[in-house]
Each structure stands twice: as structure tokens, then as C-alpha cells.
């Protein structure tokens, strides 16, 4: 059993990571008051206050720190680049430095969006990033800042889906909500990615820490698909009308922040280091469906006021 401190526990990865680990490890989270009924220990604090992190580390005395805190809304990053830099660059650097000084294993969560999508095929960790917007640029800068402070850190580029506090944080929830409310929607046919169930993301992060891994890894699903196809798969698994999803090009959208067309990442480095294959998309989708059947989304939402 390890002592774990997690930041960003009200986010999609944070809440699911906490639920995956709270019964197997000693877990403490830092939150700004959103989680009022969480089944794990929550410290109330604002990480943008310079003293909050040090106080939390001194209180929890963790062996592992997992940073799930970020400004991940692409449009919000474009509108507030200063806040994006504080949360996505400066704060991770502070965490990396503090963990190195205390001998704490540190995991920082990054994104597949650091690439421009111009490559044909899958990006490896050796490929050079080329961010298209403020979010992507600050996440890449955050990676570099973390390694500059702590060469033993883990940086994981991710893309995940799952059930969230708000019910609106993941693409899967978007499709499920609209399909169950008989609302027509569209899915991008020209944006490809490698989705992974967030619970699998959490489990693999724990395995990486248990193996004392360090460095940059792509932690995404092994199967690539368009966002339109992803919506179709959600509809089929839940027995909903896939015909409600219309194919659309991202070039015709009204989104402000630029998105890459190809976000397919190779996971060979990670699977080799772990000595096992990563979970198939169908396995994660089946668990996502089972969670819904068992009332998991409602359970998560009950943890906030």
C-alpha cells in the first residue's frame, strides 16, 4: 500500500483515479471545495496559492504525487492564456521540484494534442511535437518544465473517456446524453484519436509507479478511430440510434481553438515497459456500459454538493 496525493480530484481522471485507488492505497486529494461528500480524504486548498502544495505534501507525506490538475478546456485556454500557463506550466514545474526535493515519485498528465496531426500513422515519443493552440503549447511547455526540474518524473500523454462529476466532461458522455435524449448531433470524421477508458488509464498509471518507471510515455488506447466512429460505437453498445449522429468535418465547425486531424499515438514503448498489452477498446467500452448499468455515474455525481 502506497501513500498517494492527487491533485485535480474533481476532474474526469482525478475522480476516477481516486475511486480506483482509494481501497488499495492511502489516498489524499487536494480540491477547491467541489468534492464535499467524497469517500476519500480531501484537503481544501487552491494550488495557485504557493503555500498550498508544500502544506499538502507536509501533511500527507506521500510516496507518489499524481498531478491531474490542469486547464483542459481548449477554448478557455485561448481566451485566458495567462491562466493556462499558470496551471499547465508553472504549477507542474513547482510540483516536480517539490517532489524531487522530498524523494516523491511524480506523475504529470499531458495530452496527445501536442502534435499538429500532419503525420501519416501513429506518433511515437521520439516524434517532434508542434502545438496548434494555447492549450497544446502550454501542455508541451509543462512537459518540458517538469523534466527540467525532475528528470525522474513520469509524463503521460493521454486521451480518455468515462463518467464525470458533471456528466459532461468526456466525449462519450456527450454522445450518450444526446442519444438518450433523442437529440441529433454530429461527429468529426476527419479527427482520429486513440480513446481509452479513464479507469484503465488510472490502473496503468499505478502499474507504472509500481515499476518505478520514469520518462515520457503515450498512455492511450491501442485502437485508432475517428470521433464519428467513436460515437457510433457508443450508440451500438448502448442500443441507441446511431443514425442520430451525422458525419461532419472539423473544418466546418465553429470552434475557436485549432485541433489536429491526427491524434493517433503509438503505445509500443509503454506496453514494452509494462510487459503487457494495453486494454482493447471493446473491453473498455464494455466496462463503460456496465458502469452505467450499475449506477456508477450517479454515484460519482453524489460526491459533490
Average pLDDT across each block of 10 residues of the chain; the chain has 305 residues. List them in order: 93 95 93 86 89 92 95 88 94 96 96 93 95 93 97 97 88 94 89 96 96 97 96 96 92 76 95 96 97 95 83
Predicted confidence at residue 182, as pLDDT, reads 85
Sequence-distant (≥ 6) Cβ neighbours of residue 285 within 8 angstroms: 197, 233, 234, 237
As a whole number of angstroms, the distance between CA 120 and CA 127 comes to 12
Residue holding cell 464519428? 228
Biggest CA pair distance of the chain? 55
Give the 3-state secondary structure of the chain: CCEEEEECCCCHHHHHHHHHHCCCCEEEEEECCCECCCCCEEEECCCCCHHHHHHHHHHHCCCEEEECCCCCCHHHHHHCHHHHHHHHHHHHHHHHHHHHHHCCEEEEEEEHHHCCCCCCCCECCCCCCCCCCHHHHHHHHHHHHHHHHCCCCEEEEECEECCCCCCCCCHHHHHHHHHHCCCCEEEECCCEECCEEHHHHHHHHHHHHHCCCCEEEEECCCCCEEHHHHHHHHHHHHCCCHHHEEEECHHHCCCCCCCCCEECECCHHHHHHHCCCCCCHHHHHHHHHHHHHCCHHHHHHCCEC
Predicted confidence at residue 305, as pLDDT, reads 64
As a whole number of angstroms, the distance between CA 129 and CA 119 comes to 11
Predicted confidence at residue 159, as pLDDT, reads 96
Q: 3-165+194-224+264-281 adopts what CATH topology?
A: Rossmann fold (3.40.50)
As a whole number of angstroms, the distance between CA 73 and CA 20 comes to 24
Which is it for strands 154-158 and 64-67: parallel, antiparallel or unpaired?
Answer: unpaired
Question: At what angle are helices 198-210 and 12-21 packed, to 10 degrees?
Answer: 60
The answer to pTM > 0.75 is yes
Predicted confidence at residue 298, as pLDDT, reads 93
Predicted confidence at residue 34, as pLDDT, reads 81
166-201 per-position pLDDT tens digit: 888 789 999 999 999 988 889 999 999 999 999 999
Residue holding cell 493521454? 158
Domain spans of the chain, in order of start: 3-165+194-224+264-281
215 closest CA partner among 119, 110, 68: 110
80-121 per-position pLDDT tens digit: 999 999 999 999 999 999 999 999 999 999 999 999 999 999
Amino acid at each position: 500500500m502506497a501513500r498517494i496525493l492527487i491533485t485535480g480530484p474533481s476532474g474526469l481522471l482525478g475522480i476516477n483515479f481516486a475511486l480506483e485507488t482509494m481501497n488499495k492505497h492511502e489516498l489524499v486529494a487536494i480540491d477547491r471545495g467541489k468534492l464535499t461528500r467524497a469517500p476519500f480524504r480531501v484537503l481544501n486548498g487552491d494550488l495557485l496559492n504557493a503555500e498550498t502544495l508544500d502544506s499538502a505534501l507536509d501533511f500527507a507525506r506521500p510516496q507518489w504525487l499524481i498531478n491531474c490538475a490542469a486547464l483542459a478546456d481548449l477554448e478557455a485556454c485561448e481566451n485566458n492564456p495567462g491562466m493556462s500557463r499558470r496551471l499547465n506550466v508553472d504549477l507542474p514545474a513547482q510540483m516536480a521540484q517539490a517532489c524531487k526535493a522530498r524523494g516523491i515519485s511524480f506523475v504529470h498528465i499531458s495530452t496527445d494534442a501536442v502534435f499538429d496531426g500532419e503525420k501519416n500513422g501513429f506518433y511515437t515519443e521520439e516524434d517532434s511535437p508542434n502545438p496548434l493552440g494555447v492549450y497544446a503549447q502550454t501542455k508541451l511547455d509543462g512537459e518540458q518544465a517538469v523534466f527540467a526540474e525532475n528528470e525522474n518524473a513520469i509524463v503521460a500523454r493521454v486521451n480518455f473517456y468515462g463518467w464525470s462529476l458533471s456528466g459532461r466532461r468526456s466525449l462519450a458522455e456527450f454522445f450518450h446524453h444526446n442519444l438518450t435524449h433523442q437529440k441529433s448531433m454530429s461527429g468529426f470524421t476527419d479527427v482520429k484519436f486513440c480513446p481509452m477508458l479513464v479507469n484503465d488509464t488510472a490502473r496503468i498509471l499505478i502499474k507504472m509507479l509500481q515499476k518505478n518507471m520514469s520518462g515520457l510515455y503515450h498512455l492511450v488506447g491501442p485502437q485508432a478511430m475517428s470521433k464519428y466512429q467513436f460515437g457510433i460505437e457508443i450508440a451500438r453498445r448502448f442500443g441507441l440510434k446511431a443514425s442520430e449522429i451525422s458525419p461532419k468535418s472539423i473544418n466546418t465547425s465553429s470552434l475557436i481553438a485549432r485541433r489536429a486531424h491526427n491524434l493517433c499515438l503509438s503505445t509500443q514503448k509503454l506496453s514494452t515497459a509494462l510487459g503487457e498489452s494495453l486494454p482493447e477498446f471493446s473491453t473498455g467500452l464494455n466496462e463503460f456500459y456496465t458502469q452505467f448499468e450499475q449506477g456508477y455515474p450517479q454515484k460519482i455525481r453524489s460526491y459533490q454538493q
